[in-house]
Amino acid sequence: MNLFISRMEGVQTPIIPVVGQLIKENPGTISLGQGIVSYNPPSESIEFITAFLADPDNHKYKAVQGIQPLLSAIEVKLKEDNNIHLTLQQRIVVTAGGNMAYMNAILAITSPGDEIILNTPYYFNHEMAIMMADCRPVLVKTDENYQLCPDAIEAAITDKTKAVVTISPNNPTGVVYDESLLRKVNEICKSKGIYHINDEVYEYFTYEGNKHFSPGSIMGSQDYTISLYSLSKAYGFASWRIGYMIIPEHLFVGINKIQDTIIICPPVISQYAALGALKAGKNYCKEHLEKITAVRKIVLESLQSLKDLCTITPANGAFYFFLKVNCDLDDFMLVKTLIEHYKVAVLPGSTFGMKEGCYLRLAYGALQPETAAEGMGRFVKGLPEILR
């Protein structure tokens, strides 16, 4: 018996560090890989750190679910931005980032062998968490525009299914799911007695008149809808590790056990910074969105020269484009070649569950306009030469 084999053997290796190492080995590479923004947290976040330091009691453990001032601020935000009016059957839990919120949910609602439905392409950490919980991801294809297919989702539900996961605006595709489709999926979950987990990390990143919709705002959905949020993107907050989840009250006992075991309480200094961010509000993100929109335009215009080589699906949310490349090349080897020979990095689609065909994810949220222009110049030069 090999004592060194564990459940981790079946979990994919996170792609970001792998590509990060390739970038490190090839100095001067422009990254269109990691999904972060270029701007810093608002000044209000830094100011609230002073308040944190002024109270020696803040250096002690705090409540597992988060400090009360932050819980109250989140409740107000949910009413104003998401049309979610919490009831006594719901609870806010502050987490160490959106990934922890998702892991909390998976561990709380499943037993080993249960199934979770993911829509492909999926966010790789979502699939990894399911595997770590000794559960099985059931993959359902989206349509040609990466929109949800409710009939296919319903057909994939079995007596082992515990939840359907949706992400809107979407990572990795950048697609904003139609409200009617999210409502239909939510209704299916209700009728089947399973949970609807909706990841809303990119809620403020929409373009060309598209609007974000929160399934948690659907009347009567509070007993089976789990909504996940993060401050990482909107507030330039990635390393502070603060997210939160809206859960049915009946899940709190389990999630309290999980969170107390893994982290005890979310970092209190970061919770104070989050208070400052919420004080600045969504307008802080909206101000920066103008520059991201300009960068998006540069990326989209550059991609037009590749329309004979790639399928470029419309993407009006987040800060991603997901390309289907018309070739039979291994996507990781394509990524590696782009980095080593053209000094531009993207991510392979296989890490997002697209195993048939060659797909690439481009991220542009962290780029300045001039960097975006240079990076896309390298990409549109390199891809045709590699495929030639």
Domain boundaries, the chain: 7-36+283-387, 43-280
Which residue from 315, 306, 292, 289 is spatially nearest to 381, judged by alpha carbons? Answer: 306
Q: What Å distances lie between residue 151 and 184, 185, 296, 375, CA to CA? A: 9, 9, 33, 40
Taking the chain (388 residues) in runs of 10, the rounded mean pLDDT of each run is 75 91 96 91 95 94 97 98 96 97 98 98 96 97 97 98 98 97 98 98 96 96 97 94 97 97 96 97 94 96 94 94 95 97 97 95 95 97 94
Q: What is the pLDDT of residue 3?
A: 65
- Fold for domain 43-280? Aspartate Aminotransferase; domain 2 (3.40.640)
Q: pTM for the complete prediction?
A: 0.95
Looking up tokens 């990409």, which residue turns up?
A: 379
Report the pLDDT value the prediction gives residue 9, as an integer from 0 to 100. 86
Amino acid type, 331: D
Identify the architecture of domain 7-36+283-387 in CATH.
Alpha-Beta Complex (3.90)
| Strand order from edge to edge, sheet including 161-167 | 90-95, 243-248, 225-230, 195-199, 161-167, 115-120, 136-141
